[in-house]
Amino acid sequence: MTPPDSKDSLAPALADWRVAPPRNPQFRSAVWARLEGARGTPTWSSYVRGHATLVAGALALAVVLGAVTGREQARARVEAARGQLAASYVEGLDARNMRMP
């Protein structure tokens, strides 16, 4: 490999190149504000503690809805069993179905 030609080198051009960005006196405070904002993201437990009434209300609503739904399903099963039991009782009393020993 041959070394690059010094006439074609970018070193002189890069040595003369200077960047002078405009100064922003609020730069540090903006950076710290962003850092503090990122640090303040709540965890799940801190969110629950912060919104305790909302979480408790949702939990109570879920329990009540579950209880009402379970009660209705149990009532439907009891009615179905009661109907089946009554039908089998009436069928047993029917003289046409009785067997004599």
Determine, yes or no, domain membership for 99.
no
Determine, yes or no, domain membership for 52.
yes
For position 77, what pLDDT does the model report?
A: 97
Q: Which token pair is 15?
A: 């040595």
Tell me the whole-structure pTM to 2 decimals: 0.46
State the total domains in the chain.
1
Determine, yes or no, domain membership for 81.
yes
For position 76, what pLDDT does the model report?
A: 96
Query: Would you say 48 and 55 are in contact if contact means Cβ atoms under 8 Å apart?
Result: yes
Mean pLDDT calculated for residue range 57-84: 96
- Gyration radius from the chain CA atoms: 41
35-42: long-range pairs with CB below 8 Å, 24+ = none
Residue 1 reports pLDDT greater than 60: no
For position 7, what pLDDT does the model report?
A: 63
| Domain coverage including residue 63 | 45-93
For position 66, what pLDDT does the model report?
A: 97
Measured in residues, the chain has a length of 101
Determine, yes or no, domain membership for 58.
yes
Determine, yes or no, domain membership for 63.
yes
57 torsion bin: left (phi>0), alpha (psi -120 to 50), beta (else): alpha
